[in-house]
Amino acid sequence: MEKFFKLKENGTSVKIEFIAGITTFVTMAYIIMVNPAMLATPFEGTDMYDKVFNGVFFATCLSAFLGTFLMGVLAKLPFAQAPGMGMNAFFTYTVMLGMGYSYEASLAMVFISGALFILITLCSFREKIVMAIPKNIKVAISVGIGLFLAFIGFQDAGLIVGNESTMVSLVDFSTFSENPVACWGAILAFFGIVLTTVLYKKKVTGSILISIFVVTILGIFTGNTVFDGFQINFGAQVKDFADVSLFACFRGFRELFMGSSVGQAILTLIMLIITFSMVDMFDTIGTLIGTAKSANMLDEDGNIPNAKKSLLCDAIATVGGSIFGTSTVTTYGECISGISVGGRTGLTSVFTAIMFLAAIIFAPFVSIIPSCATAPALIFVGGLLLSAIKDMEFDDVSEAIPAYLALIMMPLTYSIANGIAVGLIAYTLIKIFTGKFKELNIITVVLSALFVIRYLMISL
């Protein structure tokens, strides 16, 4: 194990990697329940809802295991993968509910996009795309992910709530008597942020994990930690997975070319596949860059070690996920929580992967952990990522503004890919109109054009 993962060389140990792996898993374990609920939404109110939910639950755990395990043993990096938030919403609300494609046909599109990923990754094209992203935007990605994670965390904590006038605002504690559980959740989350920071400052091993555990226990007394739905129906889940989700993508290929016009069907299909491909590609690239930077893994040019292998893991996991029955698999920014407590090698990912596999049986125990317990971890690691802003180039506005747009659009549009897209488009246009054509990479220009076309054709 020492020889394979080079633990001493990376300044870590099996114990540290184990704690990091569990920390990463606990921080992103919400996807185990959220993803099945999301993909089963079109079947709400029908007999198929529970069957699809059970099938996608299995698919979520298996695809997360596959992608994360490969990331650990192939790329040997402490990154975790699972079906991506945002992409599952696109899969459900745009492709299925909005455009009328079936669950099976939508999975077929994911399969095609994953196969395309494998092809362009083996040809090193995705690696070239990573290198084509301007250095200042690469730095901004890390900061943007930090703000994005913090924004998600504040929402999960209930500290930030919806507001008709300002869109978002601080939770109103004056309503404590009317909604005590929500207010207590916000208070516990804030306490969790303070506790995590204090423990981290004092160099306590597993600071984030300890905070999650403490807040979960306290939540029992405030009504935030609940045991509703604490049941295991393993047999039904296995049956539904086999009948509904497993290999469903292959049943959906025929539907892709049906419609009023074969030409129109093919054009729509191409645009949807491009959308699946581009969003997942840049979600993964952005997260890899951001997390690698937080662990000081980037080289002098801001490139990722083992970039080709890590991107290949993502591509294989997406194909595997579609076969299992879930939407696009991508690298999660939440894995920064594991990195922040010392995870530095692929062993962290192996431990996280094992936890996802075990979650198939122990999901009810995982579901007990309230969002107010995991939210502090996202907010805390988001703060750690902001330190990268010191490396941004601000003297040249043609470099600074595109990077600024990239980082600010990530939390505001709830998408890493949107942030990168806006940054690249702005970068290309600014360089063109300021006469700095020679500073543009042809791949950057092509990507910017593709993003413009995608936004004009299909919304996400």
Domain boundaries, the chain: 2-457
| pLDDT tens for each residue of the chain, 460 residues long | 888 999 998 899 999 999 999 999 999 999 998 999 999 999 999 999 999 999 999 999 999 999 999 999 999 999 999 999 888 988 998 899 988 899 999 999 999 999 998 998 898 887 788 888 898 998 898 899 889 989 999 999 999 999 988 999 999 998 898 999 999 999 999 999 999 999 999 988 889 989 999 999 999 999 999 876 555 567 778 899 999 999 999 999 888 866 545 566 677 777 778 778 777 788 888 888 887 877 777 766 667 777 889 889 999 999 999 999 999 999 998 899 999 889 999 999 999 999 999 999 887 777 788 999 999 998 998 898 888 898 888 999 999 999 999 999 999 998 888 899 999 999 999 999 999 988 898 999 998 998 898 788 765 5
Instruction: Give CA–CA dist 356/338, Å, rounded.
Output: 15
Q: What per-residue confidence (pLDDT) applies to 158?
A: 94
Q: What per-residue confidence (pLDDT) applies to 229?
A: 56
Q: What per-residue confidence (pLDDT) applies to 195?
A: 97
Please, where are the H alpha helices in 223-369? 234-240, 248-251, 253-256, 262-294, 307-324, 336-340, 346-367
Q: What per-residue confidence (pLDDT) applies to 262?
A: 57
Task: Say whether 256 sits in a helix, a strand or coil.
Answer: helix
Residue 397, both tokens: 């506005």
Instruction: Give CA–CA dist 414/168, Å, rounded.
Output: 13
Q: What per-residue confidence (pLDDT) applies to 414?
A: 86
Contact between 372 and 219 under an 8 Å Cβ cutoff? The reply is yes
Task: Say whether 251 sits in a helix, a strand or coil.
Answer: helix
Contact between 145 and 290 under an 8 Å Cβ cutoff? The reply is yes
Q: What per-residue confidence (pLDDT) applies to 232?
A: 59
Q: What per-residue confidence (pLDDT) applies to 350?
A: 97
Q: What per-residue confidence (pLDDT) applies to 261?
A: 53
How far from 106 is each of 67, 214, 385, 427, 448, CA to CA, in Å?
Answer: 20, 41, 35, 33, 26
